[in-house]
Structure formats: structure tokens, C-alpha cells
Chain A
Amino acid sequence: MSTPLLELRDVGKYYGNIIALTGVTTNVAAGKVTCVLGDNGAGKSTLIKILAGVHQHDDGELLLEGEPVSFESPREALDKGIAAVYQDLAMVPLMSVWRNFFLGSEPTKNLGPLRWIDKPLAKRTAKDEMARMGIDIRDTEQPVGTLSGGERQSVAIARAVYFGAKVLILDEPTSALGVKQSGVVLRYIVEAAKRGLGVIFITHNPAHAYPVGDRFLILNRGRSMGNFAKDEISQTELTQLMAGGAELEELQHELEAAIASKND
């Protein structure tokens, strides 16, 4: 197996005397999807922030294509090809799709000192890029605010892919979406992996993670509960591990007892 794009070895992070994250080991290879699962407060956000350069890790090693790294800023992470798509998506709702797509990196033409946006190129590229992701945006002039949640997510993903991301970090992309929309977004995740990106998909929903993931990292209360390849674990096991195994079993017993007493 070749060197993974991004590898974590026993990564840890402390906020003062609080252990936010400890002993996290996983990797993401090109064209593969690594899912990070965990309930609320499991340390998923801290992990993203380390990967995206918002925070730096205090323990262990972070390797980018085999080289140990520590990102000083989100900009540095972005320059090295690690793009994070956050839950709030970094979109301006009143602006058109193509303006949002290129926001901050608009293609320009110039005549002497005069520089202006190459609008036809920008519109065409935005549409084509999203079509390549399997996303059919109707009119690139329409404001992002009028798109559905899934479509918005797709614009953010396509934007990250277009601007040279090698590793794509998706923070709970399906959490605010309905069943059908979630399915659409999951397809984009597969699409992005097919195009050779390494995808880190953060979620608390094993049903979303299992079908698309190649590797699963389960976090609970800042600790790694395991790092499995797909053939090492089933969806049921995944669900159990994620909720802390024993706790879920206990809950199941309680529920069964409640149902039994109801049926009596």
C-alpha cells in the first residue's frame, strides 16, 4: 500500500488541563473515504480543527504524504491541499452560485491596470465543475439562498475540489438534511473520492457513514474507540461502538423491559 495522503499517529490535544483528544490514529488515502464517527462531545470538532489548521496538536504526529506537519493557520492547510467544508458552509446567501463558487479567488482579465472578473469563464467553469461532480445546477446566476440544503453542500464541495483540495474534510454535511437530500450528498462524497481525493467524513450517523466509508474512526469522550477498515466491522458493531457499546446495550434492555411491561 502506498503512503496515505494524511496520517494521524496517536494525536492528542489539550485545552489547559482538559484532555480534548488523545491517542487518535487513522489515515486517509487518495480515493478513499475515512469516516469519523462520534456522539456529541466526542472530540470530532477538535479533530477537524487540528486537520484544518485552526488548532495545533500537542501529542503524536500528523503526517502529510509521509512528512510530519503542523499547520499554523487555515490558510496554510488550504495551501497544502486540505480543505474543510464546515456546517455553516461559508456561503453568502444573497450572492449568485458562481460568485459564491469563486468568492475570494475570482478569475480576472485585465487591460493595463484595470482588472475585472472574467464573468463568462467563471460562470462556465462553475457549471462544468459541478456537472463533473454529478451536480446539475440550473442557473448559476441564482442566489445560493434559494438552493436546497443538499445543493448548497454540493456547491461547497465542488468549490473545494476545484480549488485543488487533495484532502476534503466534511463536517456533518448530512446532519441538517432530509433522507433524500442526505442520499444526494453521500453520492457527492463518493464522487469526490472517485476523482482521487481523500475524504474525511465526519458524522454521528452510522447509517450514513457505513455505505460510503472505507475506514472508520470512532471517537468517544476524546478517546479513540478503534480505527477499522471496512472489512473489519459491520454496521451494527459500528453503531454499538459509537454509542459506547455497553451503554447502548443497557438502553436496549431498558427499552425492551418498557415494551414488555406495556404489552402486559
Chain B
Amino acid sequence: MTTIDGAVIADDAAANDDDERISYRGVFQRTLVRPEIGATIAAVSIWIFFWAVSTPFGKASGASSILDVASSPLGIMAVAVAMLMIGGEFDLSAGAATGALGIVVILLVRDVAGEVSGGSLSLWIALPVSLLVALFLGWFNATMVDKTSLPSFVVTLASFFILKGAKLGYAKLITGQIQVGKLDDLAIHAEQNDVSDKGYGFLAKVFSGEWIRNEHVWGSRDAVYLIGVMLGLSLVVLAVYEMQYTRREKPAPAGIGVLGAGIVVAIVGAAVLHRTDSVSGNVIGAVVIGVGMLIGLFGWSTWRYQTIDRTARLTMPASAIAPFGLGLVAVVLGALFALLLDPDNSDTIAVLYQVTEQGLRAILFISLAGAGAVLMLIAVSRARKESNTAGGLLLLMTSGVVAAVAFFIRSESGTHKFRTEALSAMLAIAMLMAIWALLSMRFESRSAIDRSADRLGKILLIGGAAGVVVGLGARLLYITPEELETATRTVFSVRILWFIAFTAVCTWVLGRTRFGSWTFAVGGNKQAARQVGVPASRTKMQLFMLVSFAAWLVGILLAFRLNTIQASTGDGEEFEYIIAAVVGGTALTGGYGSTLGAAIGAFIMAMAVQGIPSARWNSDWRFVFLGAILLLAVIANNFIKEKAEAAR
């Protein structure tokens, strides 16, 4: 310990890292601070919404088309644009640049007459050359912004028009048309004249390779899917528990026995499920698995976590009763509407433009039941502040309501989708809620930092996520032998991998490197960043170049995908990139945001693009939807940000 007066107390605090003055933030509160959380919640709800109203959602074919729209150009560009926006700048020329760079690649491999001949440039040279062009665009934008001190909005608007005009001008000048093509002439020329295809064959695999699902049969796919998802989700549950509850000082080994018993019961339940085909058999199997899980989790918790020793008196705060009651009323009202309105009547109702009675019934039921559930959860969180028992009790009742609604949907719905998938998903949720409620009444929630528990939780979480990804991946990428005849043709593009890789690299760079730190700094307070020695101009230049690099990558992906690029390709898309970034939690004012959020934002927009026509609505409504999402996202993000900062 140092002997400096006044530092003694501080030294103590530093030594054991915990500080009694910091109010501990639980696992849920910590999660809410992340900028991408709003987007994640929105993505899940929108997915559920479109799953309910259209057919392809929830199928491999739907997933492939959503991922394709989300990945390129939208996703890759949104991630890059998000980084630039965090750095406090905009690039309105980003959309036009994607098309322009695709055109540059194609023009480079064609000779002066616009023909592919033996003398035309190899792709191996054309790609680096076009990269130089791209980096020049980024450099130009950055330099203009830096030297003129004008807002980047204005400067890049100018370069947008320059690019737009240049694309049209050059295309007409060289090919005489408003489009430039075709890239695959390289392959045709090579075949006809028996010469090298100048890298086309190989690069086409890299940039527009495909995974055709129907050609990949895997007998044990469903087993891998089920085990992966179930194991993954259980690990996630354990991770949340680990981060939520207080650890015992000495583990209670008796719990391990109970845990083992629970696992055995669950396996028996799975066996029952596997053996029988009857409805009652299925129900029995599911119930046995549920009981097994409850016993297992109870054993795990007894083994590891502190039990609540005082017998808490049950005090139900008045502030919780009102929303809970209101929630119950909303659910019942929703159910009443579902019973009263005719599910088979698809005539439109005169007063409500274009809405059928059938549709009205669904809308009323879903929105009322959803609102009811949210109200009940609000009640639970309020009650928890007063006493664990009260909160647990309300949560238990909520889980009962969810289960009841699940069975109500099963009995009232005509479609197979709702009768089976929705039922099992909702029952699983109800079961998890019930288990959570029971455990939270018995075990002590954590109120102090426990780094080793958090570390274990993190490992469990990553393991769980990996399990879910492997399971879902198997389900998406392979078919079983039984599906050979029935499965619709589904193709996954390699562009999805480019998107994932680009997002991963950018996320790492933003969070872990000096450049990432400097990006936040120049966007948050450029003057301050400069004062402490951050090369602000250079950082901004690199950000502009990152965006033009992304535009180059997207340009190549477009060229290989479309073969022929229109002079107008990409024009006007820059606002979609910005929307995706903002929906993902990036602040328009700079200094705050996330690349992962931007990727999720792109996913949300892709769902809108794919979901609206597949729900058989006119796709002109897409922009109404996007506008509404944007507004909601900004409001929600603002709200979450304020809440999060107040919570500290």
C-alpha cells in the first residue's frame, strides 16, 4: 500500500476491484447498454410478424433470399457507412460508387472498342487497378472535406452527382449504351479461342459461388439440428443464470445428484417423444422433458448458487398490480375478438380499406396479446424491485397466460404453422419463464461484481451461440433424404460469407484497435482527439477510404453477379445504408454506434424487402415501412441510450 495521504482508501478500492459505491448492474441491464440491442429486438419481432403473415419466412428458401438481400450491396455498405458515421461523417456518393466500381472492373477487362479480345486486361490486374480507383474516390472525398471544412453531406453530394454523370457518360461513350457488359464474355471468349479466361473462372467462384442446398443430402441433419439448438439454448440459459445469481461460497454437491437425475428424466422424455407418434405420446414426452429440465436446473442451481435464507414476506406492490391486470384484460380482449370474428371470411370490410375480416381478427389478436404480454412483463419487473417472491409469482402467472394463449391459438387457428410451430415455441417460452420464476424465488440474485462467474458465463454464452449456429446452419444448408423430392430449390450465395467476414473484421477493428478508438474519438469530439495527439484528418481519410473499399468489394460482387451493370446501379441506395446504420443504433451525430448493429439493421431492411411481397402486399408500401422503422428505431435508440446512461 502506498503511503500518500488520502490515497489509502482509494488503494483499497483498487486492490479488490469491487466498489461499494457502484450500484451493481445485472446481466439484463448490462445488455441494454449495447447500441445494437434495439435493433436485435426489432429484428426478432419483425421476423415473428412476417413469419405469421407470409409463407417463406421460417423456411430455408426464405432465409436464403433474406440473407442475400441483406448481405450485398446493403449489408457490406451499411457496416462501412456505420463506421464512417461513428467517425462523424457521411458519404452520399457511396451508393453510386458501388455501381461505378463495378463498371470500372468490366470496362478494364474490355479493350478500347469495348470488345473482349486476346489483348484485354486480365482480371488479376483489373481488380487491383479498380481498387486504386476506389481508394482515390475515398481520398478525394476525404481531402475535399478536410481542406474545405465543408460538411461532408455537401461535398459527397457533389461527388455523387459527378459519379452519376460520369457513369452515364462513359458508358455511352464506350459501349454506346446506358449499361456496361458483359463480364462473362471473358469465359466465352476463352472457350471459343482456347485461351486463358484471365482469372474469370476462379474469381467467379470466389465472388459469386453458390451453395445449392438441394444437392447436399445429410441423413443425420435433423439430429445435429436438434442437438445443436437444444444444447446451445441450454448453455445460453446456464450462462444467464451464472451471470444472474450469487455463487455459493462452497458448492453443494447434493445438487449434482439432482442435476444428473434431471438429465436422466429429460433423456427419458426425449426417448418417449422419439418412440411414439400419437398426440398424447408427444404431449407426455414434452411434459417429461420439461420436468427433467426443471429438476436439472434446480440441481445445477442448488449446486452453485446461494439460496435466499430469509423467508421473504409477500408484498405485492400496487404499481405492479395495475399493469398486470391491464395486461390480462388485453389478452382476454384479444381472445374475445378472435372468437367473435369469422376466421374464414376474406371479404374486405367497407370502412377499413383493404382489410379483410380474417385479417382484422389476426391483427387485433396479435397486437392485443402482444401488448398484454409486454404489460405483464413490466409488472414483473416492477414487482421484482420490491420482492423476489412477488416478481417470481407474477412471472409464474405470466407463463401460465402464455401457455394458455398457446393452446388457444392451437384450437382456434386453421393453419398448420400456428397449430404446431407456434404452439411448441410458445410452450417452450412459457416453460423457461416458469422455471426462471421458480428459481428466482429460491435463489439469491447477484448484487456484486463476480469476474470469474462472468467469465464462465461468457464462455457458456459463446458455446451456446456456437451450438445454435451449427444447428441452424445444418438445417439451412442440408436436406434430409426424405426431402429430396419435396424441397424447393434453395441457393445460398457466397456473398453472405463476404458479408459476415466483412462485419466480423470491422467489428474487431472498431472495438479492439487504436483506429477503432480514434474513430469514436474523431466522431465524438474532434477537437479533443486532436489535442491528445489523435491524427484526426488521417483517421477520417481512412474511414472514407474504408467506405470506398467496401464500394469496390460490392462493385465486384455486382459485376460477377449481374454480368451487365446499368449506369444507374446503386444510385440513391446510399440512404438505405444510412437507414440500416441508424436502425442499428448508430447516432447521426457521430461518436456512437456499432457495426454489428448496422448488420442487423441491414437484416431488418432485407426482411421488409422480402416480407412485404411475400405477404402479398404491394411492394410499393416498402418505403412506408422503412420510414416507420427508421423513426421508431431512432426514438427507441434514444430512449435506450438515456435509460442506460441514467442507470449508471
Q: Give A contacts to B, CB under 8 Å.
A: 74-75, 78, 86, 88-95, 99, 102-106, 108, 115-117, 119, 127-128, 130-136, 138-139, 142-143, 145-146, 159, 187, 191, 194-195
Contact = CB atoms under 8 A, between A and B. Distances in A.
A145 B528 CA distance: 13
B19 A103 contact: no
A129 B510 CA distance: 26
Given A93-B525, A119-B512, 19 more contacts: A88-B528, A89-B528, A90-B525, A92-B524, A94-B591, A99-B517, A102-B517, A103-B517, A103-B534, A104-B529, A106-B517, A116-B508, A116-B512, A131-B10, A134-B6, A136-B14, A139-B648, A143-B645, A187-B6
Size category of the binding interface on chain B:
20 to 34
Which of B2, B10, B11 has its CB near the most chain A CB atoms (within 10 A)?
B10
Contacts of B524: 92-95
B310 interface: no
Given A138-B22, A139-B22, A191-B7, A75 B525 contact: no
Contacts of A131: 7, 10-11, 13-14
Contacts of B527: 88, 90
Contacts of B9: 136
B153 to A, nearest CB: 21
Which of A74, A136, A145 has its CB near the most chain B CB atoms (within 10 A)?
A136
A137 to B, nearest CB: 9
Contacts of B528: 88-92, 103
B113 interface: no
Contact of B648 (A86, A142, A191): A142
B537 to A, nearest CB: 14
A90 B10 contact: no
Interface in B1-29: 2, 4, 6-7, 9-11, 13-14, 19, 21-22
A146 B648 CA distance: 8
A136 B531 contact: no
A88 B11 CA distance: 29
Contacts of B119: none
A191 B7 CA distance: 9
B592 interface: yes
Contacts of B4: 132, 134, 191, 194-195
B520 A95 contact: yes
B514 A86 contact: no
B624 interface: no
B532 interface: yes
B533 A191 contact: no
A112 to B, nearest CB: 14
B540 to A, nearest CB: 15
A159 B504 CA distance: 32
Contacts of B14: 127-128, 131, 136
B102 to A, nearest CB: 30
B521 interface: yes
B645 to A, nearest CB: 6
Contacts of B529: 90, 92, 103-104
Nearest to A128: B14
Contacts of A139: 19, 22, 648
A94 B14 CA distance: 24
Contact of B533 (A75, A93, A135, A138): A75
B513 interface: yes
